[in-house]
Amino acid sequence: MTQDVIYRFADPAVLGAAAMSGQFEGEAHDARDGFIHCSARDQLEGTLTAHFTGVDRIALAVIDTQALGGSLKWEKSRGGELFPHIHGTLPFTAIRSVHLLRRDEEGHWRLPEEL
């Protein structure tokens, strides 16, 4: 599977710390599973619904897949669907942009139009 970009939802403070250190090592669930969880564009809404119900704001990193080399693997996950996983750390230089997402007045997530 080839895509130019993949996406990662993360705690804004954790992603901010990664910007300072130069690499994102993931969060607790990534360490537990042994890789950094990411999503393709068409998986974003499902990932928000499945994993971020009690969250009001989240950072969304847009990641350049070409900068990941062999650390990017597409593996079966939720519902048998292939998801992008990064095995190892994510260099912050591979992140093209970061968007801060909040819920709207009705409690729904709104993804940036440019995605």
Q: What is the pLDDT of residue 1?
A: 59
Q: What is the value of pTM for the model shown? A: 0.93
Give residue 115's pLDDT band: very low, low, confident or very high (50, 70, 90). Answer: confident
Mean pLDDT over each residue of the chain, to the nearest integer:
93
- Structural domains of the chain sorted by starting position, each given as residue range(s) with its CATH number in brackets: 5-102 (3.20.170.20)
| Distance, first Cα to last Cα, the chain | 19
Cα(47)–Cα(37) distance, rounded to whole angstroms?
10
* 3 state DSSP class of 3: coil
pLDDT at 58 over 80: yes
Instruction: Give mean pLDDT, residues 61-82.
Output: 93
Give residue 77's pLDDT band: very low, low, confident or very high (50, 70, 90). Answer: confident
